Amino acid sequence: MLQRPIPVTVVTGFLGAGKTTLVNCLLADHRPLNIAVVVNEYGKVGIDGELIEAEPDAVIEIRNGCVCCTVRADLVGSVLRLLERPGPPIERLIVETSGLADPAPVLQSFLADGSLRERVRLESVVTLVDAVHAAATWHDDIAREQLAFADVLVLSKADLVTPAALAGLHRQLAVLNPTAAIIRAAHGRTTEPLLGINRFSLADVLAIEPALLDDAPHDHEHDSSIVALSFTQAGALDAPRFERWINRLAQTRGADLLRMKGILSLAGEARRYHFHGVHMLLETTPGRRWAAHEQRETRLVMIGRGLDATSIAEQLQACRVTAEAGSPA
């Protein structure tokens, strides 16, 4: 008997819109459904894959490029590996793209690739819109592509703006994408369900991109001014020193810092800390405890314009606790 195609939800949205938080809420709300996740990390150092709260063998992280271009073949291969893994069959798939991904080539992979199109079906394209920083991103071509291809627009961080501002964003989104459903979210929780509703319309997508089903890859080029810097540093950070440095960096370079995220090893803390930043909005939250066998290290990714990798690496190194200070190096 033929197996029914597995529903796929593509979660997209510009840098820092809250995609991983939303995915974790979806996973928590739909347990024990067997959901697999493919997460795309633009930088060389993986952060998001570790933050996904799913079974380790149900998550594949694709790093060092976007699934819409440089690592697009990895998307197809990753989905096939998840579909063919031993154990209980996957009941649903979520693909979390990088914040710089054009949705069109991602959709083309599912619609035109012969190895996938009989085994999966696109259920919806969910685009997160950061209610705090939306106006600053809508001039970006990729951000507008993400809005255009959405079946559902999720206004994330809705609790951080006024009702009047939220209503204004809602009206603007309705103009930018008249066919998409528009819902709101705070801390990853949406006002309406996202999974289990068939919203994807091939006709709507082909109206935007008529050549999407062609065999030729969909052309896409990233903004060359945007770079992704990745840092890995063993040992522990002095928390006050790191906080002073990162706040100063955000204040002076906030307009250029599109996204920061990391896993921090802080001196005197038994738990790892998750760090997130969008422009000047910074957040650090506790995560799980470091295991006895784990090497404690800080991993940090910064995506932005005009960033000096050498200078930032030196400044991060200056936040490190040294052995001479009486703490582990």
Q: What is the DSSP string of 221-242?
A: ---TTEEEEEEEEES-B-HHHH
Q: What residues make up the domain containing 53?
A: 6-208
Residues ≥6 apart with Cβ < 8 Å to 328: 235, 236, 267, 296, 321
Structure tokens at 118: 């009989």
- In whole angstroms, give the CA distance from residue 82 to residue 80: 5
Q: At what angle do helices 141-148 and 163-176 cross, to 10 degrees?
A: 80
Q: What is the pLDDT of residue 121?
A: 94
Residue 213 falls inside a structural domain: no
Residue 219 falls inside a structural domain: no
Q: How distant, in Å, are the alpha carbons of 74, 113, 282 from that of 109?
A: 11, 5, 35
Does residue 198 sit in the same domain as residue 312? no
Does residue 93 sit in the same domain as residue 158? yes
Residue 314 falls inside a structural domain: yes
Residue 59 falls inside a structural domain: yes
Instruction: Characterize the bridge pairing of strands 6-13 and 92-96.
Output: parallel
Q: What is the mean pLDDT of residues 151-180?
A: 94
Q: What average pLDDT is seen over the chain?
A: 86
Does residue 191 sit in the same domain as residue 263? no
- pLDDT class for 328, splitting at 50, 70, 90? very low
Does residue 69 sit in the same domain as residue 28? yes
| Digit-coded pLDDT (tens) for 103-139 | 888 898 888 888 888 899 999 999 999 999 888 888 8
- In angstroms, how far apart are the furthest CA atoms of the chain? 67
- pLDDT class for 51, splitting at 50, 70, 90? confident
Q: What is the pLDDT of residue 274?
A: 92
The answer for 321, left when phi > 0, alpha when psi is -120 to 50, beta otherwise, is: beta
Does residue 201 sit in the same domain as residue 63? yes
Structure tokens at 273: 């800390």
Domain boundary among 155, 176, 208: 208
Does residue 164 sit in the same domain as residue 271? no
More confident position, 119 or 222: 119
Residue 268 falls inside a structural domain: yes
Q: State percent of the chain over pLDDT 70.
A: 89
CATH of the domain at 143: 3.40.50.300
Does residue 39 sit in the same domain as residue 160? yes
Q: What is the pLDDT of residue 108?
A: 86
Radius of gyration of the chain (CA): 20
| Digit-coded pLDDT (tens) for 225-267 | 788 888 999 999 999 999 999 999 999 988 888 888 899 999 9
Residue 181 falls inside a structural domain: yes
Structure tokens at 261: 């995220």
Does residue 203 sit in the same domain as residue 277? no
Domain boundary among 173, 208, 243: 208
Does residue 45 sit in the same domain as residue 163? yes
- pLDDT class for 329, splitting at 50, 70, 90? very low
- In whole angstroms, give the CA distance from residue 274 to residue 256: 21
Q: What is the 3-state secondary structure (H, E, C) of 44-87?
A: CCCCHHHHCCCCHHHEEEECCCCCCCCCHHHHHHHHHHHHHCCC
Strand, helix or coil at 129? strand
Residue 214 falls inside a structural domain: no
Does residue 295 sit in the same domain as residue 183? no
Does residue 242 sit in the same domain as residue 113? no
Q: How many domains does the chain have?
A: 2
Peptide bond between residue 32 and the one before it cis (omega within 30 degrees of 0): yes
Amino acid type, 277: G
Q: What is the mean pLDDT of residues 265-292?
A: 91
Strand, helix or coil at 106? helix
CATH of the domain at 313: 3.30.1220.10
Residue 1 falls inside a structural domain: no
Does residue 73 sit in the same domain as residue 162? yes
